[in-house]
């Protein structure tokens, strides 16, 4: 499994951000080919001295190659281009191979 994580900073108008994300952006992102799981959540920091992202989004793909193909598709390009329409607090994108950690198993291969 390969995961794309998008962390959105505090928007200028949270209500407008949420409405746009729900009604416009999420439907675009759900059309990206290869997405096998899509999760979102408003984050809260455990440490009051640190600001959490406003919204954290995870898109799972079967592989990094599948993610690349999906993001390079017309649907992926449309979703990427749309971020500028609502993410007034900025957006950070990161991706990684998901590894399950169990007792006695090394964290890194």
Q: Is 49 part of a structural domain of the chain?
A: no
- H or E element in which residue 72 lies: helix 64-72
Q: Is 10 part of a structural domain of the chain?
A: yes
The string of pLDDT tens digits covering residues 21-30 is 999 999 999 9
Cα 66 from Cα 33, distance rounded (Å): 8
**pLDDT of 25:** 98
The string of pLDDT tens digits covering residues 46-100 is 999 999 999 999 999 999 999 999 999 999 999 999 999 999 999 999 999 998 8
**pLDDT of 108:** 64
Q: Is 65 part of a structural domain of the chain?
A: no
CB-CB neighbours of 13 under 10 Å? 11
Q: Is 78 part of a structural domain of the chain?
A: no
Q: Are 14 and 89 a contacting pair, CB within 8 Å?
A: no
Q: Are 51 and 43 a contacting pair, CB within 8 Å?
A: no
Q: Is 56 part of a structural domain of the chain?
A: no
**pLDDT of 61:** 98
Q: What is the mean pLDDT of residues 28-44?
A: 97
Q: Is 89 part of a structural domain of the chain?
A: no
Cα 48 from Cα 29, distance rounded (Å): 31
Q: Is 11 part of a structural domain of the chain?
A: yes
Q: Is 67 part of a structural domain of the chain?
A: no
**pLDDT of 100:** 81
pLDDT at 102 over 90: no
Cα 58 from Cα 79, distance rounded (Å): 14
Which residue range is the domain that position 34 belongs to?
1-43
The structural domain count of the chain equals 1
Diameter over CA atoms, the chain: 47
């Amino acid at each position: 499994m390969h995961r794309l994580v998008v962390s959105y900073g505090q928007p200028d108008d949270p209500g407008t951000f949420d409405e746009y994300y729900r009604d416009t952006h999420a439907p675009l992102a759900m059309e990206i080919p290869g997405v096998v799981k899509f999760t979102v959540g408003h984050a809260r920091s455990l440490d009051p001295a640190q600001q959490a992202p406003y919204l954290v989004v995870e898109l799972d793909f079967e592989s990094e190659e599948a993610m690349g193909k999906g993001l390079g598709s017309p649907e992926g390009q449309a979703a990427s281009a749309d971020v500028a329409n609502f993410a007034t607090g900025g957006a950070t994108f990161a991706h990684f191979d998901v590894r399950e950690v169990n007792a006695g198993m090394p964290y890194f291969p």
